[in-house]
């Protein structure tokens, strides 16, 4: 049995296949969620990197960073690399509140 990942790849590459398969369905849902959340204007990774230290300090001091910097929050929801870096940085701050 061809695996789910291969099904999803074939679907994205436009291979002819009429049946519903779990792999392509899963991929479709993921894609539709991302399309649904897509905004006309989004920050890119460089813009978010410039603001990330300010953003995590806000989160760490219990300020409503999502409200104050919504485009940063949105990018973190869309970009796995930046989200990973945000989480790593938050881990540092949460464990070293007195650093500096």
Partner 1 sequence: MKKRSNEEWLNELRARGPEQEDALANLHAIILRGLPFALSKWLSPSDPHFTPFTEEVAQDTLLRVLDKMDTFEGRSQFTTWVHKIAVRIALTELRRLRWKDVSLDNMIDSEESYLPPHLMADSTPGPESSTEQSDLLAHVQRLISEELTDKQRQAMIAINIEGMPIEEVARKMNMKRNALYKLMHDARLRLKRRMALEGMTPEDVLSAFE
The residues that touch partner 1, with contacts defined as CB under 8 A, are 2, 5-6, 8-14, 16-22, 24-25, 27-36, 38, 40, 42, 44-46, 49, 52-54, 56-57, 78-81, 84-85, 87-89, 91-96, 99-100
The CA-CA-CA angle for residues 43, 91, 45, to 5°, reads 15
Least Cα distance to 55 among 39, 46, 67 occurs for: 67
Q: How far is the CB of 54 from partner 1 (least distance, A)?
A: 4
Residue closer to partner 1 by CB (options 44, 67) is 44
In terms of CB distance, is 57 or 70 closer to partner 1? 57
Phi-psi region of 48 (alpha: psi -120 to 50; beta: other; left: phi over 0): alpha
Residue 70 Cβ vs partner 1, minimum distance, rounded to whole Å: 16
**Cβ nearer to partner 1, comparing 20 with 64:** 20
CA-to-CA dists, residue 52 to 64, 66, 77, 96, angstroms = 14, 12, 14, 17
**Which residue, chain included where needed, has tokens 């104050």?**
68
Considering beta carbons, is residue 5 or 70 the nearer one to partner 1?
A: 5
């Amino acid at each position: 049995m061809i695996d789910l990942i291969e099904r999803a790849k074939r679907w994205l590459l436009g291979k002819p296949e009429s049946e519903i398969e779990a792999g392509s369905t899963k991929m479709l849902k993921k894609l539709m969620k991302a399309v649904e959340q897509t905004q006309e204007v989004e920050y890119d990774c460089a813009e978010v990197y410039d603001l990330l230290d300010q953003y995590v300090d806000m989160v760490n001091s219990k300020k409503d960073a999502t409200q104050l910097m919504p485009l940063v929050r949105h990018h973190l929801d869309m970009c796995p690399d930046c989200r990973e870096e945000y989480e790593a940085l938050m881990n540092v701050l949460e464990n070293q509140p007195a650093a500096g």
